[in-house]
């Protein structure tokens, strides 16, 4: 039988039952590959449930350092009878199936184009371990041991990782190492190890990853660290997947790094609110009072926060919101990833509102952009929403290390203190003195008899006096538009890369692709695939809204522009159509909204379709069949 082969280039998927301890064993596997220096991207595809439902863990290994999903599965490890039939069907021809052979496999599950590897996981664990919980948990470690033999994972690294993991609980190290060795030995004795798909750290084709000393971390932890480094002192939130771990991580780091040495008291406040309305209200109140405050939420929470976002926009208060997007609406698929809050965030609230959005694509950017969000919010005196998603927020990504410049100073924006108020000849809260739409704020309690004013929504004049006059309203909202123009020069610029040279282009059309966030990695990969097929595509990665003027130019310069995103309605495409002066029919959507992150293959396929490329011309680059 033909078998898929590939050194450092394959996809392994684990099919488990949730609540059985599989995630930490699967993570152990992925982390070992990372420690070997081989580019790897693990993804947890899990249900909204605590115990008993199907859950998957997909590990992609990519010699070239592609971190997005490729599409397809080369090896399936399945210990969940509920999903076995579908799991087997999803394996690429020439692929591999590893399973618990304590019970024989049903005859209808046999395919003649894949290889089977039965390991009696349950039997081995029942025999070797006495405690019921360990019999359950260590099945996962046994299969990791077997995979180490099958795929050539460095065994000593696995043992080191177990030692790290159980530091302080030494009693658990011995049975874990025993389970690992048992699996390894079983595979060595029964299969021809290693397989044609395997790891080899000596032939890595991605020097940029090794040299920059990548870390493995998730975006939510990175964002939480950004909030610590950015000087956030107030966090208010309501638990919601997939954003919960942002505040969990903030709390963990704050308890370590924000305790006053002299008194043991906290230089931060975390308030678990009664709902997202209150969470945003707390942030608004704290920001009004001059503290750096933030919240983290997901789709349904964003809806509930919309009213306050509108108030903050009109009252011109800095607000930082980290939106870790999931599938919507309402309960939706809370543990599935999408980029589907774009329009809801950009125009959140009633009345004429527009909000600054940031789009991180890596944990490193989650960190940097969270810090920047606090600066932008205070400089622009307006809400700033960082648009992460479940895939970036909750999965571990290889990322360049986090960096910090100790000379960084917080940009607190235009705030007049008592001294400045004494020196000012006159002051009105909403007077546009500098012509950039940004006015001078004062904080409560700043001065005994200057600078006090009444903060309210839109009915006011430049002196913050209540007014329902039409002309006052118009002047105010027009100034807010001017401020939004100013924001264009403050927010991160889009990233443009050098085009990939294509010797004999098969099209005369000038092609471009726009994408953002977690759509970026698989988009870069798809563009490389298509370049090899003869279709050169220029790329621009959007990093912020309002859009940079270069985005307009990019669309103008191309005949056909693909907008690659993860929602049904092409929300980024709509936002571009709304905000830029371009011909909308130039923009073609490339979409995935299944709840699992978009793959390079999906993107390449949709672009080929849009270009009417005959599929007979296409040579699939992956997988390679031996």
Q: How far is the CB of 180 from another protein (least distance, A)?
A: 21
Considering only the stretches 104-112, 271-279, 515-523, 530-538, report the one whose residues sit in contact with another protein under the rule CB under 8 A: 271-279
Contact 457, 317 (CB under 8 A): no
Stretch near another protein under the rule CB under 8 A, chosen from 111-119, 289-297, 333-341, 477-485? 289-297
User: 236 - beta bridge partners?
Assistant: 271
Q: Measure the CA–CA gap between 501 and 522, rounded to whole angstroms.
A: 19
Of the residues 153, 179, 228, 511, which one makes contact with another protein according to CB under 8 A:
228
Nearer to another protein, 334 or 363 (CB): 363
CB 217 within 8 A of CB 363: yes
What is the maximum span of the chain, computed from C-alpha positions, in angstroms? 88
CA 149 to CA 7: how far, in whole Å?
Answer: 15
415 binds another protein per the rule CB under 8 A? no
Is residue 439 close enough to count as binding another protein by CB under 8 A?
Answer: no
401 torsion bin: left (phi>0), alpha (psi -120 to 50), beta (else): beta
Q: Select 111 or 447, whichever has its Cβ closest to another protein.
A: 447
Among 25, 32, 240, 286, binds another protein (CB under 8 A): 286
Applying CB under 8 A, the span of 127-135, 226-234, 239-247, 566-574 interacting with another protein comes to 226-234
Which among 57-65, 442-450, 509-517, 602-610 is the span making contact with another protein, rule CB under 8 A? 442-450
Spatial distance between the Cα atoms of 438 and 318, rounded to a whole number of angstroms: 12
Choices 122-130, 150-158, 277-285, 377-385; region in contact with another protein by CB under 8 A: 277-285
Which residues partner with 321 through β-bridges? Answer: 295, 385
* Under rule CB under 8 A, residue 239 binds another protein: no
Is residue 424 near another protein by the rule CB under 8 A?
no
From the CB of 351, what's the least distance to another protein, in Å?
13
- With contacts defined by CB under 8 A, name the span among 55-63, 215-223, 335-343, 580-588 that binds another protein: 215-223
| Identified binder of another protein from the candidate list 45, 283, 320, 537, rule CB under 8 A | 283
Among 21, 81, 120, 231, binds another protein (CB under 8 A): 231
Could you tell me which residues come within 8 angstroms of residue 126 by beta carbon, excluding any fewer than 6 positions away?
135
d(CA 371, CA 7): 39
- For another protein, which is the closer residue by CB, 15 or 284? 284
Q: For the segment 376-405, give every residue that binds another protein (CB under 8 A).
A: 401-405
Applying CB under 8 A, the span of 116-124, 275-283, 478-486, 568-576 interacting with another protein comes to: 275-283
DSSP secondary structure, 203-260, as one string: --S-HHHHHTT-EEEEHHHHHHHHHHHTT--EEEE---TTTHHHHHHHHHHHHHH-B-
466 binds another protein (CB under 8 A): yes
Contact assessment for residue 399 and residue 221, using Cβ atoms and an 8 Å cutoff: no
282 contributes a contact to another protein by CB under 8 A: yes
Task: Please say which residue, 442 or 574, places its beta carbon nearer to another protein.
Answer: 442
Report residue 354 as tokens: 């527009």
Preceding peptide of 290 cis, ω within 30°: no
- Give the number of other Cβ atoms within 10 Å of residue 573's Cβ: 23
Interface residues for another protein in 8-37 (CB under 8 A)? 35
Query: Which has the closest alpha carbon to 459: 307, 276, 311, 262?
Result: 311
Residues numbered 338 to 367 that lie near another protein (CB under 8 A) are none
Residue pair 597/69 in contact (Cβ under 8 Å)? The answer is yes
Q: Is 44 in the site for another protein (CB under 8 A)?
A: no
Among 89, 131, 410, 625, binds another protein (CB under 8 A): 410
> By CB under 8 A, is residue 430 in contact with another protein?
no
Q: Which of 25, 146, 150, 311 binds another protein (CB under 8 A)?
A: 311
The least CB distance from residue 360 to another protein, in Å, is 17
Q: Is 268 in the site for another protein (CB under 8 A)?
A: yes
Residue 417 touching another protein (CB under 8 A): no
* 588: CB partners within 8 A, 6+ apart: 560, 561, 562, 563, 610
Give the span between the Cα atoms of 364 and 214, in whole angstroms.
10
Q: Which is nearer to another protein, 228 or 607 (CB)?
A: 228
CB burial string 499-512: b at 16+ within 10 A, e below:
eeebeeeebeeebb
With binding defined as CB under 8 A, does residue 456 bind another protein? yes
> Rule CB under 8 A: is residue 236 a binding residue for another protein?
yes
Question: Of these, 28, 75, 158, 293, which contacts another protein (CB under 8 A)?
Answer: 293
Interface pick for another protein out of 105, 173, 177, 269 (rule CB under 8 A): 269
Q: How far is the CB of 404 from another protein (least distance, A)?
A: 4
Contacting another protein within 526-565 (CB under 8 A): none
CA nearest to 20, candidates 59, 55, 57: 55
Contact positions with another protein (CB under 8 A) in 467-526: none
Residue 221 has, within 13 A of its CA and on its CB side, a CA count of: 12
Q: How many CB atoms lie within 10 A of CB 446?
A: 18
Radius of gyration of the chain (CA): 27
When binding is defined by CB under 8 A, the residue of 178, 414, 447, 475 that contacts another protein is 447
């Amino acid at each position: 039988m033909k078998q898929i082969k590939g050194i450092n280039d394959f996809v392994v998927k684990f099919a488990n039952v949730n609540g059985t301890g599989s995630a930490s064993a699967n993570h152990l596997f992925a982390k070992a590959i990372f420690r070997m220096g081989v580019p790897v991207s693990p993804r947890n595809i899990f249900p909204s449930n605590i115990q008993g439902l199907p859950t998957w863990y997909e590990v992609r290994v990519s010699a070239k350092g592609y971190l997005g999903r490729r599409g397809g599965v080369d090896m399936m490890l399945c210990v969940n009878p509920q999903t076995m039939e579908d799991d087997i069907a999803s394996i690429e021809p020439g692929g591999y199936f590893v399973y618990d052979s304590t019970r024989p496999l049903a005859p209808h599950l046999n395919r003649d184009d894949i290889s089977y590897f039965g390991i009696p996981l349950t039997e081995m664990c029942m025999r070797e371990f006495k405690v019921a919980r360990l019999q359950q948990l260590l099945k996962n470690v046994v299969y990791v041991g077997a995979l180490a033999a099958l795929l050539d994972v460095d065994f000593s690294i696995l043992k080191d990782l177990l030692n790290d993991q159980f530091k302080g609980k030494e009693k658990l190290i011995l049975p874990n190492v025993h389970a690992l060795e048992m699996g390894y030995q079983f595979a060595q004795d029964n299969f021809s190890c290693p397989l044609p798909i395997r790891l080899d750290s000596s032939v890595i084709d991605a020097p940029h990853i090794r040299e920059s000393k990548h870390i493995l971390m998730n975006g939510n932890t990175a964002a939480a660290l950004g909030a610590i480094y950015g000087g956030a002192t107030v966090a208010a939130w309501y638990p919601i997947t997939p954003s919960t771990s942002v505040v969990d991580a903030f709390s963990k780091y704050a308890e370590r790094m924000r305790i006053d040495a002299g008194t043991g008291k906290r230089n931060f406040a975390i308030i678990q609110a009664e709902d997202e309305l209150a969470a945003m209200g707390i942030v608004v109140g704290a920001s009004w009072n001059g503290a750096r405050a933030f919240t983290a939420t997901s789709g349904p929470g964003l809806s509930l926060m919309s009213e306050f976002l509108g108030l903050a926009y009109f009252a011109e208060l800095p607000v930082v919101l980290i939106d870790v997007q999931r599938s919507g609406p309402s309960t939706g698929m809370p543990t599935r990833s999408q980029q589907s809050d774009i329009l809801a965030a950009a125009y959140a609230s009633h009345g004429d509102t527009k909000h600054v959005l940031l789009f991180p694509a890596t944990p490193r950017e989650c960190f940097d952009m969270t810090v920047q969000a606090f600066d932008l919010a205070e400089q622009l005196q307006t809400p700033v929403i960082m648009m992460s998603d479940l895939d970036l927020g909750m999965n571990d990504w290889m990322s360049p290390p986090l960096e910090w410049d100790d000379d960084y100073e917080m940009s607190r924006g235009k705030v007049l203190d008592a001294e400045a108020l004494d020196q000012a000849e006159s002051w009105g809260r909403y007077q546009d003195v500098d012509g950039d739409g940004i006015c001078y704020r004062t904080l409560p309690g700043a001065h005994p008899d200057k600078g006090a004013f009444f903060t309210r929504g839109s009915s006011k004049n430049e002196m913050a006096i209540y007014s329902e006059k039409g002309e006052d309203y118009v002047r105010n909202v027009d100034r807010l538009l001017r401020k939004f123009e100013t924001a264009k020069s403050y927010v991160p610029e889009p990233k443009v890369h050098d085009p990939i040279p294509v010797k004999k282009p098969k099209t005369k059309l000038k092609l471009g692709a726009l994408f953002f966030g977690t759509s970026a990695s698989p988009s870069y990969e798809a563009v490389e695939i298509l370049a090899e097929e003869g279709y050169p595509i220029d790329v621009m990665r959007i990093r912020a809204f309002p859009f940079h003027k270069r985005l307009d130019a990019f669309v103008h310069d191309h005949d056909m522009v693909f907008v690659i995103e993860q929602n049904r309605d092409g929300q980024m495409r709509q936002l571009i159509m709304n905000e830029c002066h371009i011909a909308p029919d130039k923009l073609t959507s490339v979409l995935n909204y299944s709840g699992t992150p978009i793959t390079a293959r999906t993107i390449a396929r949709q672009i080929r379709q849009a270009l009417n490329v005959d599929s007979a011309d296409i040579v699939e680059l992956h997988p390679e069949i031996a």
